[in-house]
Structure 1
Amino acid sequence: MTIYFYGADEVPYGCFSNFSDHGLDLDGCWWPTTEHCFQAQKFIGTRHADLIRRARTPLRAAELGRDPSKPLRRDWERVKDDVMRRAVATKFRTHSDIRGILLSTGDEEIVEDTTTDHYWGRGRTGTGKNMLGRILMRTRSRLRAELDEAQGSHGRPAGR
C-alpha cells in the first residue's frame, strides 16, 4: 500500500505536509512550520529570511520564498535536500504525536500527492522524484533505529 498526502488538514497524514502546524526550533530560531524554515534557508543571513520566518501563514512563507526578485544563496541547489532533511527530522523529533503517526506507517511508501511539483512530489505524470516522501521515509527509518537503540539499552539485566 502507498500512503499519499498533500493538504495539512488531511487526517491522519496531513502532518507530513510542510504546511502542517508543527513548529520547530532549528539553528537557534523558532520556525512556525517546516515550510517557513525551508523557504527562509534560501536567503539565510538576510532580512528577507527573517521576513519569511515571521510570515503569518506557511502559504505566505512559500510565496515570499519563491519571489523571483530575490537572489537565492549560491549553493542552494546543492544544499536544499539537506535543508529539507534537517527541518523534517527536527519536526518529527519535536512532536511525539506526529512521530507516532510517521512510525505507524511501517514500511509503506509515502508520496506527496501533488501534480504541480515534480521534484518534491510525484508531479503531473506520477513519475516525479518525490523527494519529500523519500525524506519522510528516511526520517522514519532513522527514528525507528533511534527508538530500537534506546529500548535495547534499557530494561535488560547486565550480562545477558
Structure 2
Amino acid sequence: MTPPSPDTIYFYAQTDPYAEFSNFAPYGVCFEDIWWPTVEHYFQAMKFHDAAYRTRIRRCQKPKDAKALGMTRKIPLRADWEEVKDDIMYAAVLCKFRTHGAPRQLLLGTGDAPLVENAPMDAYWGCGPDGLGLNKLGRILMRVRGELAEDAAALNR
C-alpha cells in the first residue's frame, strides 16, 4: 500500500478536528419524510426491515446507542444488506452534506486531500488497526466532495 500523503486528513472522534465528517456528528438527514438525528441512526436502522425496530433505533438519544441496536443479531438483518450497505451509506452521507451548510463548506475546504476515517477497530469503513483498511467512509466522503464541488461549479457558470 502507498504511504499516506502528508496532506491526508484523518477524522474519527467527536473531539477531533473534522469531527463533522463522523456519522455520529449531530447533523440529521431526512428520507421518505422521516427525520433521522444522525447518519449513524439512519444507517443502523436500514439494516432491518422491521419498521418498529427501525423506529426504536431512530428514537435513540445518542448515536452510540443507535449503533448498539444496529449491531444486534437478535433481529434478522435484511437479506440484501451486504449488497446495499455501501449505497445506503453513500446516500446518507450525501444527504447530510447537501442539507447542512457548515459541514459542506468544511468538506469542500479540504480540496483534494485524502480523507481517512481513523477507526482503529473498523477495517471496512475506516483504516483499521494497521492503517490498511478499506476506508470506505473516507472514499465516500471524497466522492461526495467531488459531487458538491461540481454542484458549486455549475451554480457559478
Regarding TM over 0.5, the answer is: yes
Runs of at least 5 residues in structure 2 that lack an aligned partner in the other structure: 1-6
Partner residue, 1:80: 85
Instruction: Name the counterpart of 2:11.
Output: 5
SS in 2 for 1:4: strand
Aligned letter for 2:16?
A: E
One-letter amino acid of the structure 2 residue matched with residue 39 of structure 1: Q
Identity of aligned residues (%): 48
Aligned equivalents of 1:126 and 1:27: distance in 2? 36
| Large movers: runs of 4+ above 3 Å | none
SS of equivalent residue, structure 1 residue 117:
coil
Structure with bigger gyration radius: 1
Who is 2:116 aligned against?
A: 111
Paired residues in the alignment total: 151
Question: 1:139 aligns to what?
Answer: 144
Q: Look up the equivalent residue of 1:2 and give its one-letter code.
A: T
- Using structure 2 for the length normalisation, give the TM-score: 0.94
What is the CA distance between 1:45 and its match in structure 2?
Answer: 4.5
Is this contact kept in 1: 2:12–2:118, CA < 8 A?
yes
Task: Note the C-alpha offset of 1:114.
Answer: 1.2
Q: Aligned runs of 1:37-52 on 2, under 5 Å?
A: 37-52=42-57
Q: TM-score, normalised by structure 1?
A: 0.92
CA distance in 2, matches of 1:52, 1:71: 14
Deviations 1:99-123 (A, max 9, x none): 0000000000000001100000000
The answer to whether residue 60 in structure 2 is matched with residue 71 in structure 1 is no
How far apart in 1 are the matches of 2:57 and 2:143? 27
Amino acid at match of 2:11: F
Give the distance between the partners of 2:139 and 2:14, measured in 1 at CA. 18
Greater mean deviation of Cα atoms: 36-45 or 97-106 = 36-45
Q: Supply the distance in 1 between the matched residues of 2:63 and 2:152 (Cα, whole angstroms).
A: 30
- The question of whether the paired residues in 1 share the 8 Å contact of 2:49 and 2:77 is answered with no
Question: How far apart, CA to CA, are the structure 1 residues paired with 2:31 and 2:14?
Answer: 21
2:32 corresponding residue in structure 1: 27
What's the counterpart of residue 156 of structure 1?
A: none
Is this contact kept in 1: 2:123–2:133, CA < 8 A?
A: yes
- Mind listing any 5+ residue stretches in structure 1 that lack a counterpart? 153-160
Q: Structure 2 CA distance, aligned partners of 1:124 and 1:67?
A: 23
